[in-house]
Amino acid sequence: MIEKKTITKALVALVCLAAVFLTGLFFGRTGSGGDFTVTTQYAVGAMSAQELDDIADRVDARATRETEEQVPTQQTNHQGAETPADSGLVNINTADSTALQTLPGVGPAIAERIIAHRETHGAFRIIEEITDVSGIGERRFEDIRDLITVE
């Protein structure tokens, strides 16, 4: 199995190569009929293996830190329903009417329509499917898009 550090090093190298290519340092036009001249002095040996390892370690540490920060602590309100303020996101596949009503513009009627829709059609696969529910148009979806999930 490939180690995470190896994958990270490969991705860093690929990003560096893409950056060099996009800035025109790697390939330069010779001006004659679409030919390219490869100027490798900027790309080959630009980083030592140790520098690449250091970057990979920093990227791994940052990714780990961001992942730990994004893990929501699940809390509930006094009625036992998840709220966006407490957990970060409302799972529209499992939330009850009370939890759904914590979303902007979602009242009791729309909350019940969301529940009825998932009971009739099954779980939402992507959050955009919530627009299939009567009363949730593009504007309301934009208001709640960052507050819902379908985990």
Of 16, 37, 70, the domain-final residue: 70
Q: What gap in Å lies between CA 25 and CA 92, rounded to an integer?
A: 48
Query: How many domains would you assign to the chain?
Result: 2
Q: What gap in Å lies between CA 43 and CA 15, rounded to an integer?
A: 12
Instruction: Report the Cα–Cα distance between both ends of the chain, in Å, rounded.
Output: 27
Query: 76 in a domain, yes or no?
Result: no
- State both tokens at 36: 């390219």
- Number of Cα atoms under 13 Å in the Cβ half of residue 46: 14
Of 70, 99, 120, the domain-final residue: 70
Q: What's the pLDDT tens digit per position in 62-115?
A: 777 766 666 554 444 444 444 444 557 999 999 999 999 999 999 999 999 999
125 pLDDT tier (thresholds 50, 70, 90): very high
Q: Are residues 54 and 104 in the same domain?
A: no
Grouping H, G, I as helix, E, B as strand and the rest as coil, residue 68 is: helix
Q: Are residues 17 and 61 in the same domain?
A: yes
- State both tokens at 146: 């960052």
Residues pairing with 36 in the sheet: 29
- State both tokens at 32: 């004659």
- Structural domain that includes position 26: 4-70
Give mean pLDDT, residues 49-64: 72
Share of the chain above pLDDT 70, in %: 62
